Structure 1
Amino acid sequence: MSDTIDFGIDLGTTNSAIAVVEEDGSTTVIKNNDGWDTTPSAVWIPEPGTVEVGRPARERMESDPDNCAAEFKLEMGRADAGRTFANAGVSLSPSELSAEVLKSLRNDVAHVYGTEPDAAVITVPAAFTLNQNNATKNAAMLAGLGTACPLVQEPTAAAVAYGFDDSVQQGYWMVFDFGGGTFDAAIVSKQEGDLRVLNHAGDPYLGGKLIDWVIVERLLAPEVSRQLGLGDFRRDNPAWRVNFGKLKQAAEKAKIRLSRSESALVMAELNDGDGRQRTFRHTISRGEVDALAEPQYVRAINLCHNALAEGGLTPADIDRLVLVGGVTLMPGLRERLADPKHGLGVELDYSVDPTTVVARGAAILAGTLRRPPKPHDPAAGAFSVTFTHAPVVTVTRPAIAGELRSTEPVDWTAYSLVFDNPRAQPPYRSPRVTPNAKGAFITDVDIDPNAVSRFGIELLDSTGSRQKIAPDTLMITHRPVDVPSVTLTHSLGIQQADRAFAPLLRKGATLPARVREVFRTSGALHRTDTDVVIRIPVVQGESSRGDRNRQVGMLEIRPQDVRIDLPAGTEVEVTFEVDMSSLVTVVADVPLVQTQFEAEIDLDNVGTPSAQVLEERLQEAESRLGRLHADVDARGSEAARRPLSQMDMETLREQVNAAAVDVGAAGVAEERLRNLQADMDDIEEVLVLPELIDQLRSMLDELDTLLQRTSSPTARQEAADLRRRAESAIDAEDPAAIRKLIDRAGALIIDLERRGQDWPVKLFYYLRQERAAMRSASSADALIREGEKAIAAGDLAALGGVNERLFRLLPPDARENPVIGVQKS
């Protein structure tokens, strides 16, 4: 058995595949019982105890929909998702359904190699969130693949398969992976044997399935209603669930045919509502489908542009665009991609097999990862060795490192190791290697280039006699190209008290990763205030607003958790740790009380909003969008008008309507609504930018006036620094930075005002304006009269007492929020 994992699995929305890396470095796709390279990701349970996966299941999707399931990958990570099989009386979650697909792939391996793999590298979309990755790990465990199955992003795997081809020259390219359920893009660099993924972008709900449903809803459903005379023929009407399922299958088949022809006939046997089956026929054209798919094309291309911009690149820097996924076979998409004005204008590369390239890349990566270690206690009188070096290297004289073990105390310095490779060219035998007193050792060996070198391991005692050791062989593979590191595909951090996002680990960070950052509490935590809590949301995403990103966990510190009161500004050290599969641990340490708090990251109970909630959110978004259109028209801002014109509200409305009958559609709708709100945030920032700039400059001028009254060098230095940073933020047109500078300028103005003799008077007039919000109108009125008399008498000391009592009349949320957050230290 190999030292490395070797098997790679593409667990796809529509089809899945498994590949293995051979000893010579080549990859082989393992065919299933039908002789196919791919297995449809579909499950059919016609009766208790019978589970069919792949072709038989997909063929029953139309005729037996109550006992079939497909496209469940889009529902991964949602606790309320699942499929019920009527005849068997069982319900399976998306993870359990995916496990059945993985079991089928393992069985295919056993048919060829005699044994099932106990580990594999499994690919996931780059845009998968933490709960979706966690659900994939659960599926692997349910399928018998154990807990040590690394997850690798699909575009990374495709890039590896493409980049390891000797015919691929150095340069930059982009993987454009438009599959059945998801879209991913990756920018890749190959320079002098170094293969690196520079950036990712993607959408876990942008795929061929979305285009299929657009065809159904806008082309086929209206025609069915007309031909068959069906009233209320809508996807969200449960009475027509079977009909819409058949139309979905027919739309997918027609879309595939349109890749090779200008038109396609759609046919389906549909129920007419009276129990009779009627044949529906309708011809659709390639042009119609391309027009309907245009918003999906635009979204994918925009994601590519965003990924390039983040990396400081343009399409002109990319040598070729590697097409992966079934949707990339659509001629309309290819024409759009090749267009330098409306697409990317990059040379298209069709050289990879879009159906197996991801599995092949996963297998290559699996060949570089050591198999999960198994407990191996040596027998009495025998010895064992554990290796810690890389099993795949790019040099021909690598280091071998490890540690010897025994059941009894041993003076390891009396022993030595020899590594022997008689098949090497020329044959190789290492000098004796002496371990240290703990049994640890490291040495260099010679290996053959572009080959697998297999060494026999000899353990010699002080007399030169060989001792039994397990394992007694070792393999090291040389490859001229180094595989890229696994990287983080979404930034991870916390939402601060002001709702700003503080990323601790940025998108693109190499995994595994660990980072620590210090924050300070925005308020005090008193042990007597049982309702107060320090709450630190853990979020994932790229928006500068924390609440526009996806919350994945929560750190909470309550009064009963600490033994002393925590003043405002207490240090909180937050540590993020992420493993190679993007699974996260978050810990907060409060040095003042020497206590740690671990975030509750519950990835197993992420639910889906109800159809009613999604409808309410959509109405709110549509109302806000209407106001934005009016603002943009009034201000004539072309920079804001362009992104507004690209918002696909029609598809979003269709997904919200379908949410009541399709959890997958609800997931799409939830994600799109979150993205829509974030996009509108950005547009609003563009619109208010001139006002923010004016406000900041006005406050800086006010600061200059106040500084004429003080001789404080510290205040003057801070004001000068503020002005310098302000000009930089204004030049960069950065609304978030400008807002922060406005807040800082405001704090400095207040600080300077407090030093003036008239500060109590100014504070009194501010508090008087807040009279309507105060808890007791009669007490407030009495204090206001008292304050006015103090001002008339010039008694500032009395006025200070009035101000303090007025402040206490303000509601708690105006004085101190009972939910305390943190701010950067």
Structure 2
Amino acid sequence: MRDTIDFGIDLGTTNSAIAVVEEDGGATVIKNNDGWDITPSAVWIPKPGVVHVGRRARERVQIDPDNAVAEFKLEMGLADVSKRFVKAGTTLTPPQLSAEVLRSLRADAAHHSGSPPAAAVITVPAAFSLNQNKATLEAAVQAGLSAACPLVQEPTAAAFAYGFHDADDRAYWMVFDFGGGTFDAAVVSKRDGDLRVLNHAGDPYLGGKLIDWAVVERILAPAAAAEFGLADFRRDNPAWRVNFAKLKWLAEEGKMQLSRRDAIELTTELTVSGGDTETFEYTLRRDELDRVAEPFYARAMNLCRTALAEGGLNAGDIDRLLLVGGTTLAPGLRERLADSRDGLGIALDTSLDPTTVVARGAAIFASTVRRPDPPSFQPAVGEFALQLAYEPSVTTTTPVVAGKLHAAAPVDWTGYAVTLGNPDGQPPFRTGRVALNAEGAFLTEVAVDPHRTSRFTVELTDASGAPQKVSPDSLSITHREVEFGGARLTHSLGIQLADRAFAPLLRKGATLPTRAREVFRTAAALRRSDAEAVVRIPVVQGERDRADRNRLVGTLEIRPLDVRIDLPAGTEVEVTFEVDASNLVTVVADVPLIQAQFEAEINLDDVRTPQADELATALAEAEQRMAALHESRASDVPQVRERLQRLDDEGTLTTAREQVRAAAVDAGAAATAEDRLREVQAQLDDIEEAADQPALVRELRDLLAEAGRLVSEAGHPADRTTLADLGQRADEAIGSGSSARIRAETERVTEFLIELERRQPGWSVRLFYALCEQQGRMQPSGEARTLVRNGKEALAAGDERALDAVNARLVRLLPREEQPKIIGLVGR
């Protein structure tokens, strides 16, 4: 019986695989019934009760799309998505479809090992969101696996495979994981036996599938439409659904063949106008494929550069680029990656099969995780149950094993002892008799063989030396040179506030498991009499200051079910987020007012597919913003020009257009379009901010000059020191290129300028009248009217202190960018 999970599954968009760590410690990829290492992630249900998974299903997708489906991984976590199998009269959700793939892999494992695994480590993209991770775990449970299956990020699993395979003791690696549906880049450090993911960047909708569809829409479909005179030949036109399924198959097959050839003849039968069938032939060349794929390659490499920059590294610091995923088989991509000028210029490592390396790494990780079987500590009379505590995978050859015995009735443990032995060890090992303490517990050191799995027997004897029946009566420990340094949080996690600002509770890069607590206040009352009362707060993942530029992954729902009294608006609620090693989140809310704690629920089951018309509107807005920036003088600013060029190089809007067009018929395309458009809008925010930066710099310089004039006319010696410090900080902020830092220093100089101006005769009065002229720009307007009235009363009473207080509050009611200007205006 295995003590550790040992099975690892790569549940991929295009293909899946399962591997197992054998008794000798090596990882073996388990072949399916076709003799393949990989199983296509496709399901075909031709009639009720008959389900095909794998090669046969994948072949049917192109000719029978009503009853076969593939690439459903990109739709995981979308509550409103399902696939109808017409002939079988059944409907399956993406988690249910993934469960069918997992069942098939379990069956292959049962054929290999004699019984299906009860648990497995399942890999997910590092860029997956909370709802997608949760849907993956649901699929595992539906497939008959344990709910305690660990989820491991794909680049981490790949790093495991390389780390345990490679002899280097000190190195920096980058995992370049370009799969069928997702892309992940991870910076990995291997130091003195410690394997650690330092940083990562990724895109959950950047994969080979996008390249396939780009080949269809930009090459094959136009050629077919021109040759056969096909009208309105579009992917979203239901009349051509089967034709586009066939062209998609051609694109995928052609792409794979071009990894070994310079050109490939593609042939398929297409239905033309009138229902006739014609043979479509096209010679696809490698340079055509590379030209179409180039924007996707560029985006992947830019994400790598982002991961490096965030980690304070550059390409020269990385020893090797570990290629993972089927897309990395493309010669064009490999040539681009190796190019030191236009690519990454990092030495490529292709020593492991990129299509199975994730499954291998997942299995190796699984061999370090104890089986999640629930322990039974209720032994029968005359028997003993053993609760063990030890690390199943170690880097030392003298690990510690602890345990505690349980019996059906109270036992005097005096004289009882355990003995652990490994008769097959080199040399054989056996402890002496290890006495139990008064609670029936023990602790002992054992010796394990280097680079092997050592299996120990456990013998229990009573005070007379008679052997007793104990369960379990064995354990195994594997010695390895490398151990994992821990998973990291892949995205910052927090909530959206009422003003759309993002309030992160946990920051990207935090070592998992982790937790954080924040205090919020309720915006509305919670009344026990209202059964529908609930506080809903959007939960988002991402790094943007604007919450709506990040990804919505669920809703934090706080219900007053256990509240003893009504809670008024503004009640403090302490919210604690906890994230486990699988990136799964739980939340606890505490209400100090009533000293009550209750489970708050993050609803991950209501994330839905964006509507096609809403995506079209968002696309039009992004295109207008992009065009305006290209046409404006701001495009002459080097930073603006560079960022616009990056968007163009990555073909972001082109991809968004294609995915928006397909959104009505493909939920995966809709999700991809939403993600792309959100990214475009966020980047345009940054570009527009960069375009405004020259004006921000001029404003900061002008304020410093005004402050300098006042200091020279009537400043104190301390003022000159303060001014010099502000000048240095301003230069540093401008040099950083950060608009946020420039604005922060502008606020500092403004505060200093106000202090200087306040010393001038009549300053408070002049400022008040200037603010009155700007009253129409203040929000909220009601508060502004009240403050103006209070200011006039202070003027009449000659109360300068009260007038200063009114001025300070009026300034804050102006738009942020106008606040420094009013100070400078009054100063002149």
Scaled by the length of structure 1, the TM-score of the pair is 0.88
Q: Which residue of 1 aligns with 2:395?
A: 394
Q: Which residue of 1 aligns with 2:111?
A: 111
Q: Which residue of 1 aligns with 2:582?
A: 581
Q: Which residue of 1 aligns with 2:511?
A: 510
2:663 to 656, 659, 662: 659
**Correspondence 1:47-446 to 2 at 5 A:** 47-168=47-168, 170-376=170-376, 377-412=378-413, 415-446=416-447
Three-state SS of the structure 2 residue aligned to 1:468 is strand
**Correspondence 1:472-511 to 2 at 5 A:** 472-495=473-496, 499-511=500-512
Which amino acid in 2 is paired with 1:281? E
Distance 1:532 1:728 in 2: 50
| Structure-2 change in CA distance of 1:533 and 1:688 (3 Å) | farther
Q: Deviations over 1:536-595 (max 9, x none)?
A: 54321122433311133445779997867677xx97654321111101123454546645
Instruction: Say if 2:47 is the partner of 1:42.
Output: no
2:675 to 671, 679, 686: 671
Instruction: Say if 2:691 is the partner of 1:690.
Output: no
Distance 2:602 2:701 in 1: 43
Contact 2:79 2:605 in 1 (8 A): yes
Q: Using the TM superposition, give the Cα deviation of residue 321 of structure 1 relative to its aligned residue in structure 2, in angstroms.
A: 1.6
Q: Which residue of 2 aligns with 1:814?
A: none
Three-state SS of the structure 2 residue aligned to 1:173 is strand
Three-state SS of the structure 2 residue aligned to 1:620 is helix
Three-state SS of the structure 2 residue aligned to 1:404 is strand
Q: Which residue of 1 aligns with 2:552?
A: 551
Q: Using the TM superposition, give the Cα deviation of residue 455 of structure 1 relative to its aligned residue in structure 2, in angstroms.
A: 1.3
Distance 1:441 1:200 in 2: 42
Q: Which residue of 2 aligns with 1:540?
A: 541
Distance 1:673 1:119 in 2: 38
Which amino acid in 1 is paired with 2:479? H
| Structure-2 change in CA distance of 1:739 and 1:389 (3 Å) | farther
Q: Using the TM superposition, give the Cα deviation of residue 398 of structure 1 relative to its aligned residue in structure 2, in angstroms.
A: 0.5
Q: Deviations over 1:27-63 (max 9, x none)?
A: 1111111111111111000001111111111121222
Q: Using the TM superposition, give the Cα deviation of residue 535 of structure 1 relative to its aligned residue in structure 2, in angstroms.
A: 7.3
| Structure-2 change in CA distance of 1:533 and 1:152 (3 Å) | closer
| Structure-2 change in CA distance of 1:734 and 1:395 (3 Å) | same
| Structure-2 change in CA distance of 1:626 and 1:559 (3 Å) | farther
Distance 1:386 1:168 in 2: 37
Contact 1:554 1:599 in 2 (8 A): no
Structure 1 stretch 174-183 or stretch 537-546: which is displaced more? 537-546
1:681 to 680, 685, 691: 685
Q: Which residue of 2 aligns with 1:23?
A: 23
Which amino acid in 2 is paired with 1:415? Y
Q: Using the TM superposition, give the Cα deviation of residue 691 of structure 1 relative to its aligned residue in structure 2, in angstroms.
A: 2.7
Instruction: Say if 2:38 is the partner of 1:33.
Output: no
| Structure-2 change in CA distance of 1:524 and 1:301 (3 Å) | closer
Q: Which residue of 2 aligns with 1:822?
A: none
Which amino acid in 2 is paired with 1:769? Q
Contact 1:586 1:599 in 2 (8 A): yes
Q: Using the TM superposition, give the Cα deviation of residue 661 of structure 1 relative to its aligned residue in structure 2, in angstroms.
A: 0.9
Which amino acid in 2 is paired with 1:28? T
Contact 1:760 1:799 in 2 (8 A): no
Distance 1:266 1:365 in 2: 41
Q: Using the TM superposition, give the Cα deviation of residue 353 of structure 1 relative to its aligned residue in structure 2, in angstroms.
A: 0.9
Contact 1:526 1:559 in 2 (8 A): no
Q: Using the TM superposition, give the Cα deviation of residue 698 of structure 1 relative to its aligned residue in structure 2, in angstroms.
A: 5.0
Distance 2:559 2:67 in 1: 49
Q: Using the TM superposition, give the Cα deviation of residue 713 of structure 1 relative to its aligned residue in structure 2, in angstroms.
A: 14
| Structure-2 change in CA distance of 1:787 and 1:104 (3 Å) | closer
Which amino acid in 1 is paired with 2:44? W
Contact 1:525 1:532 in 2 (8 A): no
Contact 2:268 2:279 in 1 (8 A): yes
Contact 1:30 1:37 in 2 (8 A): yes
Distance 1:683 1:591 in 2: 44
Q: Deviations over 1:667-703 (max 9, x none)?
A: 1101101111111122122222233344445556777
Structure 1 stretch 115-124 or stretch 557-566: which is displaced more? 557-566
**Correspondence 1:810-821 to 2 at 5 A:** none
Distance 2:790 2:83 in 1: 69
Contact 1:46 1:88 in 2 (8 A): yes
| Structure-2 change in CA distance of 1:228 and 1:99 (3 Å) | same
Which amino acid in 2 is paired with 1:106? R
Three-state SS of the structure 1 residue aligned to 2:280 is strand
Structure 1 stretch 650-659 or stretch 589-598: which is displaced more? 589-598
Three-state SS of the structure 1 residue aligned to 2:603 is coil
Structure 1 stretch 751-760 or stretch 276-285: which is displaced more? 751-760
Instruction: Say if 2:623 is the partner of 1:618.
Output: no
Contact 2:120 2:150 in 1 (8 A): yes
Distance 2:550 2:211 in 1: 26
Q: Using the TM superposition, give the Cα deviation of residue 706 of structure 1 relative to its aligned residue in structure 2, in angstroms.
A: 9.2
Q: Deviations over 1:300-332 (max 9, x none)?
A: 111111111111111111222222222112121
Distance 2:192 2:780 in 1: 71
Q: Using the TM superposition, give the Cα deviation of residue 723 of structure 1 relative to its aligned residue in structure 2, in angstroms.
A: 7.0
Contact 2:559 2:600 in 1 (8 A): no
Q: Using the TM superposition, give the Cα deviation of residue 489 of structure 1 relative to its aligned residue in structure 2, in angstroms.
A: 1.6
Q: Using the TM superposition, give the Cα deviation of residue 733 of structure 1 relative to its aligned residue in structure 2, in angstroms.
A: 2.6
Distance 2:541 2:787 in 1: 48
2:775 to 759, 770, 773: 770
| Structure-2 change in CA distance of 1:78 and 1:753 (3 Å) | farther
**Correspondence 1:628-667 to 2 at 5 A:** 628-631=629-632, 633-634=633-634, 636-647=636-647, 648=651, 649-667=653-671
Distance 1:311 1:596 in 2: 39
Contact 1:767 1:803 in 2 (8 A): no
Scaled by the length of structure 2, the TM-score of the pair is 0.87
Q: Which residue of 2 aligns with 1:819?
A: none
RMSD: 3.9
| Structure-2 change in CA distance of 1:564 and 1:420 (3 Å) | same
| Structure-2 change in CA distance of 1:535 and 1:743 (3 Å) | farther
| Structure-2 change in CA distance of 1:739 and 1:91 (3 Å) | farther
Distance 2:149 2:263 in 1: 44
Three-state SS of the structure 2 residue aligned to 1:402 is strand
For structure 1, list consecutive stretches of 5 or more residues without a partner in the other structure: 812-825
Distance 1:14 1:588 in 2: 40
Distance 2:312 2:42 in 1: 41
Q: What percentage of aligned pairs have identical amino acids?
A: 58
Distance 1:782 1:128 in 2: 50
Contact 2:78 2:606 in 1 (8 A): yes
> How many residue pairs get matched?
800
Q: Which residue of 1 aligns with 2:450?
A: 449
Distance 1:498 1:743 in 2: 21
Q: Which residue of 1 aligns with 2:738?
A: 734
| Structure-2 change in CA distance of 1:147 and 1:321 (3 Å) | same
Three-state SS of the structure 1 residue aligned to 2:185 is strand
Q: Using the TM superposition, give the Cα deviation of residue 345 of structure 1 relative to its aligned residue in structure 2, in angstroms.
A: 1.0
Structure 1 stretch 231-240 or stretch 187-196: which is displaced more? 187-196
Q: Which residue of 2 aligns with 1:821?
A: none
| Structure-2 change in CA distance of 1:276 and 1:733 (3 Å) | same
| Structure-2 change in CA distance of 1:525 and 1:717 (3 Å) | farther
| Structure-2 change in CA distance of 1:480 and 1:666 (3 Å) | same
Distance 1:453 1:783 in 2: 79
Q: Using the TM superposition, give the Cα deviation of residue 646 of structure 1 relative to its aligned residue in structure 2, in angstroms.
A: 2.6
